[in-house]
Amino acid sequence: MRAASPDEILWRHLRDLPYFRAMLRAVEDGFYQAITLKSPILDLGCGDGHFASVAFSQPLDIGLDPLHEVIHEAEARRAYLLAVQADGAIQPFEDAHFNSAVSNSVLEHIPHIQDVLNELGRVMKPGGFFVFCTPNHRFNESLWGTGLFRRLKLHTLAEGYIRLYSRIARHEYCDSPQTWKKRLDKAGFEIEKTWDYFPPQALHILEWGHLFGLPALFWRKLAGRWILVRRRWNLIFPWFMTRRFLEDPTCEDGTMSFYIARRKAPSHG
């Protein structure tokens, strides 16, 4: 990892991403600073490679994603020694190949999640660490829109809002650590450590950011990047709005969960 202060971590995400995404990624980047990962490392669902390119000081060994377009972006960023286009449930690697794996805010988007976890268990060495994060069971009920409709006793609209937001965010599920423990156990992993982060106040910034982030989407389509002017003066407002959430990011009412799991030794007999 590249040692950095919270200010540096936030800036390296804020200069490239819409502020609401940068805030969340900066928090997660900070967590990785305290984690040692042994090579070879797999990034499962690597996307365009932005997170890996700024959070890690060296390219990771393998970035894997099923989408053609983003794999080429990851290649261009040189975030990985090798970028591979493949479904996570059918990985072109030998058994027990990787010492470490990461998956940053990816697993909640995968419909066939158990198949993917089972395949990850196959390619991971016993004792290897799998680090990932996902929205948890508090996420949907902590949304600002959900809370508004609940307070107005409009529960049908609240459920409709959750479905709408899940569609926008492409969430297949937002599950508890207990549910993830069962999935991981089936795939041959055990949770070494987990914690919650991203309080409801931060989630509301993320939620509203999907609306106020439309200008960034425009520049992304037009100029190929989210932020047109990558200068601190241009980002001073989102900086002060998001910086406070990096000081003490873990919390009991967190809407996201971070996991460090270990591949168990195969059972015999």
Mean pLDDT of 125-146: 98
Output b/e per residue, 61-95; b: 16+ Cβ within 10 A. bbbbbeeeebbebbbebebbeebbbeebbebebee
Q: Which residues contact 259 (CB under 8 A, 6 or more apart)?
A: 130, 131, 132, 133, 134, 177, 180, 191, 193, 194
The Cα–Cα gap between 49 and 83 comes to 9
**pLDDT at residue number 155:** 97
Q: Is the pLDDT of residue 146 over 90?
A: yes
Q: Is the pLDDT of residue 144 over 70?
A: yes
Mean pLDDT of 87-112: 97
Sorted by where each starts, the structural domains of the chain and their CATH numbers stand as 6-136+174-263 (3.40.50.150), 138-173 (no CATH)
Q: Is the pLDDT of residue 241 over 80?
A: no
Q: How confident is the model at residue 12 (pLDDT cuts 50, 70, 90)?
A: confident
